Amino acid sequence: MAGNSIGELFRVTTFGESHGVALGCIVDGVPPGIPLTEADLQHDLDRRRPGTSRYTTQRREPDSVRILSGVFEGVTTGTSIGLLIENTDQRSQDYGEIKDLFRPGHADYTYQQKYGLRDYRGGGRSSARETAMRVAAGAIAKKYLQQQFGIQIRGYLSQMGDISCELKDWDQVEQNPFFCPDVNRLEALDELMRELRKAGDSIGAKVTVVADAVPVGLGEPVFDRLDADLAHALMSINAVKGVEIGDGFAVVNKRGSENRDEITPEGFLSNHAGGILGGISSGQQIVANIALKPTSSITIPGRTINKQGEAVEMITRGRHDPCVGIRAVPIAEAMMAIVLMDHLMRNRAQCNDVKSDVPRW
C-alpha cells in the first residue's frame, strides 16, 4: 500500500531511481502458458526510449530488459515475473548543482518535505525514467490481451500546443517520431520543436489511447469502475494533469438528447461514452485522452528557493525533452493494458459462468 503497485489480480510493483543501480518490477498474476521473451517487451521499451530521435532527450540508454523469473522454456509459469533494467548512463555530475535547490514544477520540494531527504540525482524516484518498467509490464498485458482476445491497444499524439493531430492513419503513427497520426502535421510539429529548443522552453500535449475489441462486461460497479481505474492509471503517469473518457469535458455543454448513445439491433449509433457505461465496458471502442503539462526542465531562468529557504534563480540544465508528451504514448498504452488485463481477470473470477442471449457487437 506504499504506492508502488498497481492492479489487483494483474499486479505490477516497481522500484528504481533515475540514476540508481537499476530499475525493476515484479509482475504478479500472469496466467501460465503464455509464450514470452525479452523481445516481446523490448519493442515497446524502444518506442519509449530516450535518444531515439532528435526530438527527445539525448540520454542514450539501451534500456535492455532482462526476465529474471516466471518464464521457463519460453513460456510463463504462472509465478511472479521479475524484470530488470540496469542503468548504464548515470552522469551524476549533471545533477550535483540542484542538490540543494527545489526545481520549480518538479517533485523536489514535495519529496524533501515528505521524506526529509531525497535522491536528487535526476529526480530520483520521481523521474519519468520509472515509466520504463510500466512499459515493460504493460507489454506482457498487451501481448496476452492481443493473443487471447484480439484486444488491440494503441495511442497517438492528438495535440501539441495549438497543433491538433487528427486520427487519419494508424500506420503513420509508428512512422514518425511524434506518434502523430496525420502526416500533414509533421512539419508544423517539427517547426514547433525547433522553436522551443531555441527558446529553451517546453510545451504541453494531449495523447489519445484507444482499445479495440474489448469484450462487454469489464469493470466493477461503484468504485472500481473501468473508467475510474483508467483515470487512476493514466493520472499516475508523470506530468499528466487531466483524463477524459469518451467525450470528456465536451459533455459539459451537451444535452442528453445529443450525448446518449442510442442502440439499434445492429449496435450503438455513436460512442460519446468512450466505450464505458456505468463503469463497465460496453463492447465499443474504449477511448481516453490525457493532458500532459510542459516539462519544467527548461533553460529559461526561474525563481525558486534553496533548502535554507533563500531565494535563488536557476535554470535546469541536462538533457530534456521539450515535449514529454511525445514519449507518453507507449506509457499510456501500457497503463491501459494493465487496467484492462486486471479487469478481465477480475471479471473472469466473478462472472465466469455468465451466459447471455442479448446481442453483443
Q: Within positions 19 to 38, which residues make up the interface with its own copies, using CB under 8 A?
A: 20-26, 28-33
Ranges within 302-361 binding its own copies (CB under 8 A): 302-305, 307, 309-311, 345-360
Of 166, 212, 263, 317, which lies in the binding site for its own copies, with binding defined by CB under 8 A?
Answer: 263
Applying CB under 8 A, does 114 fall inside the site for its own copies?
A: yes
Applying CB under 8 A, does 79 fall inside the site for its own copies?
A: yes
Residue 281 is labelled as binding a ligand: no
150, three cell numbers: 484480439
What is the C-alpha separation between 321 and 300, in angstroms, rounded?
14
Site stretch for its own copies (CB under 8 A), options 38-46, 47-55, 135-143, 245-253:
245-253
Applying CB under 8 A, does 204 fall inside the site for its own copies?
A: yes
Q: How far is the CB of 62 from its own copies (least distance, A)?
A: 18
φ, ψ at 49 (rounded to 5°): -60, 135
Buried b (16+ CB within 10 A) or exposed e, 319-341: bbbbbbbbbbbbbbbbbbbbbbb
Count the Cβ atoms, other than its own, within 10 Å of residue 159.
19
Applying CB under 8 A, does 69 fall inside the site for its own copies?
A: yes
Ranges within 151-190 binding its own copies (CB under 8 A): 159-162
Applying CB under 8 A, does 202 fall inside the site for its own copies?
A: yes
Applying CB under 8 A, does 57 fall inside the site for its own copies?
A: no
Of 56, 57, 208, 295, which lies in the binding site for its own copies, with binding defined by CB under 8 A?
Answer: 295
Q: Are 179 and 155 in contact (CB under 8 A)?
A: yes
User: 264-272 — which CB contacts under 8 Å span 24+ positions?
Assistant: 265/359, 266/361, 267/361, 268/361, 271/246, 272/246, 272/247
Instruction: Indicate the DSSP class of residue 306.
Output: B
Residue 126 is labelled as binding a ligand: yes
Residue closest to 131 by CA, chosen among 263, 256, 233: 233
Applying CB under 8 A, does 39 fall inside the site for its own copies?
A: no
Q: How far is the CB of 304 from its own copies (least distance, A)?
A: 4
Q: How far is the CB of 105 from its own copies (least distance, A)?
A: 3
What is the C-alpha separation between 74 and 349, in angstroms, rounded?
27
